[in-house]
Amino acid sequence: MRTRTLLLPFLFAVAPVLSLAASNAGQFQASETLLPLAAVVLLTVLVLPLLTFALRGLQRGAVALALGWFVFFAYGHVAAAIGGAGLTGLAGPSVLLPLFVLAFLLAVVAIARAPAPPARLASVLFLVVSVMIGFSAVTLVRFAATQRTPPAGNLLPEESIVARRVERRPDIYYIIFDRYASAQTLADRYGFDNGPTLDFLRSRGFYVADDSRANYLVTAQSLASSLNIAHVDVLANTVGPNSSDWRPVFGLLTDHRVARLLKSLGYRYLHAGPAWNATAENPYADHNYVYEFLPEFTAILLRTTAAYPVLHRMGIGRLDVEKYRRINYQLELFGGLARTEQRPFFLFAHLLVPHGPFVFNADGSFRDPGTATSHTEPENYLAQMQFINQRIQRLVDEILSHYPADDPPVIVLQGDEGPYPARTQPHGFDWSQATDEEMNEKMRILNAIYAPGCEDAFYPSQTPVNTFRMLFNCLFDTGLPLLPDRSYAYLDLQHLYDFQDVTDRINATSH
C-alpha cells in the first residue's frame, strides 16, 4: 500500500505527457518527452515531502499532489472545451484559472481536515491513473509494433554521385518558404497579383519556373524528395502503403544526399529550421541556428496546463510569439552569412511562412491572435504573404551585396507545398476525393533559382526533385539524369505511402 501511495503523484505527473505522446505517435521523437518527464518527476520529488509534512502524512500529501497534477494538466483541455462551446467569457484565465485554483485549495483543505487519511480516494485515483497510462502504453506499443522502419540509408535505391569538376564551389542557399503558392494559385484563389515579386526576382537574375509544382502533398515527403534528389514513392514498397509512420521520411530529412555530397566537397552545412521537430535541427550539420525557448512537444504540452496563462503573458511557451521572433531572427541572419561563415557553405533553411499560425501583418508587425481571429484565413495568409515578399526582396539584395560578380552564390527559393484548400483541412481528409481545383491549389508552388551560368538547365515545369540534379550537373558535372516531374498525393494520414500520381490532374487546369 505504501508503494502505491508513493507512486500515485508520480503517475499523475507523467500520465499527461504519455497521453500527448500517444495521441501524436510518429509525430515526435521519443527523446522529446524526456524534458517534460524529467521536469514533472523532479517537481514531484521536491513538492511531495513538503505536502506530506504540511498535511501530516504521506497518503494525504500524495493524494493532494496527485489532484494538483490533475488540475494543473486539465486546465487547458477544460478551457478549450468551454471555448469550443461558445462560452468564451468563461474560458478566459481571469475566470477559469481562479476557479481551478479554488477547487484545488478546497480539496487540500478537505484532505487536511479529514479525520483519517483518504485511503479509499487514493485507491480510486490509483486505478484511474493506471487505466490512463495503460491506454497510452497500449497505443505507443501498438504503434511501434505495426510500423516497420528500415534504416534511412536503405529506404531509397542507391545512386552514385560523382563530382567531375570542382574548380568553383559557390555558396548555396536553399530556402524553403512553407506553403508559398504559385502566382496562378494566388491569382485564382486569393485574387492576389504576385507579379511584382516575381518580376523583382527576374530582375536580379533568378529563373522563375512559372509552372512548377510540388512533388508531394506535404512538407516531410516533399523535402525528403528534394534533399535526396529522388522520388520517395518507393517507400510504398520499403515501408508499406498502410503505414501512418512519419519516421521514414523524417530519417531522410536528417541524413540526406545533398548534404552528404556537398560536405564531401568541403562545404560546411548550415541548418536553420522552425520549431517543427523534423527540421528544427540536424545532427549532421556543422552549425544549427536554433531560436527557441522550448522544444515543440514541450511547448504544446505547456499549453494544456494551468501555468500557461501566466507564462503566456510573459511570452513563454507562446508558439505565435516564438515564431514571430524566430523568423525575424533567421531573415536577419541569412543576409550576413557570407561575412560571418567560413566558405563554401550550404544553407538549408525552412521557414514556416506564409504557413500559419499567422503572426505577421503585411508591414511586418506582430499580428496578435485577436486580429487573426477577426479575419478570414485567406486574409491572414495574404497579410503574411505580403510581409514575406518584402523580406524576400530585401534578403536577396543583402545576400548578393556580399558577392563579387565573378563569384556569385546559388540561391534557391521554393515552396514545399501549397496552402490547404478549406475542404481538405479536417484531420483525416481522403485525398482521393479532392477535386482538380483543390489539388492544383495544394500542389502549385513558388520555384525560383539564382544560378548564373546554369540558366539553360532550367525549364518552366521543373519540380523540386530535380533542383539539385540540375545544379550539381551544372556546377560539378555530375551527369545525373533528370527524373520525371511527377506529383504524388497520399491517400490519408493512415496511408502515408499509398501514393496516387496526380500530375495530369494538376496540369489539366493549370493554364
pLDDT tens digits along 35-66? 899 999 999 999 999 999 888 899 889 999 99
> By residue range, what is the domain housing residue 66?
2-146
Which of 86, 111, 146 finishes a domain?
146
- Structural Rg of the chain based on CA atoms: 26
161, part of any domain: no
pLDDT at 426 over 70: no
* DSSP-based helix, strand, coil % in the chain, nearest 5: 55, 10, 35
pLDDT tens digits along 373-414? 899 999 999 999 999 999 999 999 999 999 999 999 999 999
Q: How confident is the model at residue 510 (pLDDT cuts 50, 70, 90)?
A: very low
Residues 349 and 215 in one domain: yes
Return d(Cα 62, Cα 125) in angstroms, integer. Answer: 11
DSSP characters over 336-354: THHHHS-SSEEEEEEE--S
pLDDT at 509 over 60: no
pLDDT at 119 over 90: no
Cell (9 digits) for 440: 492544383
420, part of any domain: yes
pLDDT tens digits along 122-140? 899 999 999 999 999 998 8
Closest CA to 389 of 174, 223, 183: 183
Q: What pLDDT does 260 receive? A: 95
- Consecutive H or E run containing 500: strand 495-501
pLDDT tens digits along 218-243? 999 999 999 999 999 999 888 888 88
Chain centroid to CA 259: 20
Average pLDDT over residues 482-498: 95
Q: What pLDDT does 30 receive? A: 75
**Phi, psi values for residue 496, rounded to 5°:** -70, -20
216 strand-pairing partners: 488
Return d(Cα 489, Cα 439) in angstroms, integer. Answer: 9
Residues 182 and 129 in one domain: no
397, part of any domain: yes
Residues 141 and 182 in one domain: no
Residues 141 and 278 in one domain: no
Q: How many domains is the chain built from?
A: 2
Residues 198 and 108 in one domain: no
**Per-residue H/E/C for 370-396:** HHHHCCCHHHHHHHHHHHHHHHHHHHH
CATH number, domain of 176, equals: 3.40.720.10
Cell (9 digits) for 58: 504521506
Which of 93, 111, 146 finishes a domain?
146
Global confidence as pTM? 0.80
Q: How confident is the model at residue 92 (pLDDT cuts 50, 70, 90)?
A: low
Residues 329 and 475 in one domain: yes
Return d(Cα 221, Cα 248) in angstroms, integer. Answer: 10
268 strand-pairing partners: 345
Residues 26 and 88 in one domain: yes
- The residue ranking higher by pLDDT, 86 or 367, is 367
Residues 133 and 179 in one domain: no
Total residues belonging to the chain: 511
285, part of any domain: yes
DSSP characters over 271-309: EE--SSHHHH--TT-SEEE---SS-HHHHHHHTTSTTHH
Residues 257 and 374 in one domain: yes
Chain centroid to CA 128: 33
157, part of any domain: no
213 strand-pairing partners: 444
Residues 297 and 390 in one domain: yes
160, part of any domain: no
151, part of any domain: no
pLDDT at 472 over 50: yes
If one counts every other C-beta atom within 10 angstroms of the C-beta of residue 101, the result is 13
- Looking at residue 96, its amino acid is L
Average pLDDT over residues 487-494: 94
Residues 199 and 112 in one domain: no
Residues 349 and 271 in one domain: yes
- What whole-number percentage of the chain has pLDDT above 70? 92
159, part of any domain: no
- The residue ranking higher by pLDDT, 318 or 215, is 215
Which of 91, 116, 146 finishes a domain?
146
Average pLDDT over residues 6-24: 91
Cell (9 digits) for 445: 508552388
What mean pLDDT value characterizes the chain? 90
